[in-house]
Structure 1
Amino acid sequence: MLWSDPENEPPEELREMQETLRRLGLFLALAMVVAMLVLGLG
């Protein structure tokens, strides 16, 4: 995004990797919240 020119799109692999990382980060955040709730309630 920031490292490439507007007309120069990043390769497909990079976009897929970014989306996977974004989903993984979201999943990790959710898992952390659930773990904190379980620990707090337990």
Structure 2
Amino acid sequence: MLWSDPENEPPEELRDMQAMLRRAGLVLALAMVVAMIVLGLH
């Protein structure tokens, strides 16, 4: 194995950022669903 090979485990900041992006995407999706319902009711 070469020293230049990337490690299997991503760095801590990258994992935190990915988790944050997943949460942000989930919140955005929920907000869109709520907006659709609210617009549909009016």
Is TM > 0.5 for Structure 1 vs Structure 2? yes
Count of residue pairs brought into register by the alignment: 37
Tell me the percent identity: 78
Aligned residue in 1 for 2:35 = 35
Moved over 3 A (4+): none
Q: Which has the higher contact order (CA 8 A, sep 6+)?
A: 1
Larger Rg: 2
Q: Which runs of 5+ in 2 are unaligned?
A: 1-5
Q: Which runs of 5+ in 1 are unaligned?
A: none
